Amino acid sequence: MMIYGIKNCDKVRAAVKQAKADGIEIELHDFRVHGIDETLVNDMLKDIDMADLLNKRSTTWKQLSDFEKIEPNVGLLVANPTLIKRPVVFEAKKYRIGL
């Protein structure tokens, strides 16, 4: 199982802890350490709607201009990975939010 997020995010830490407690082998992809690109975001969007993937409660979202908020896109998520809800889990060839 691959968990995508930011290692110091409470929700990501809880997901990692729970997966380990359940005996699930995980790999953590930290957006800040490993980065993120358009291909990865597009792959996520095949399984998760943009409205569900986008974290509108984040500080980053609140700091965006009204223009940027009109139609969020892949480039915006790549430039601002903290806009992605966490954790994103990849398991059984499918992406989902949360464990």
Q: Which of 88, 97, 81 is nearest to 2 (CA)?
A: 88
Spot the catalytic one: 1, 5, 6, 9.
Answer: 9
Concerning whether 38 is annotated as a catalytic residue, the answer is no
Which residues have C-beta within 8 Å of that of residue 73, sequence separation ≥ 6? Answer: none
H-only helix segments in the chain: 10-21, 31-34, 38-47, 50-53, 59-63, 66-70, 74-79
> Catalytic site residues?
9
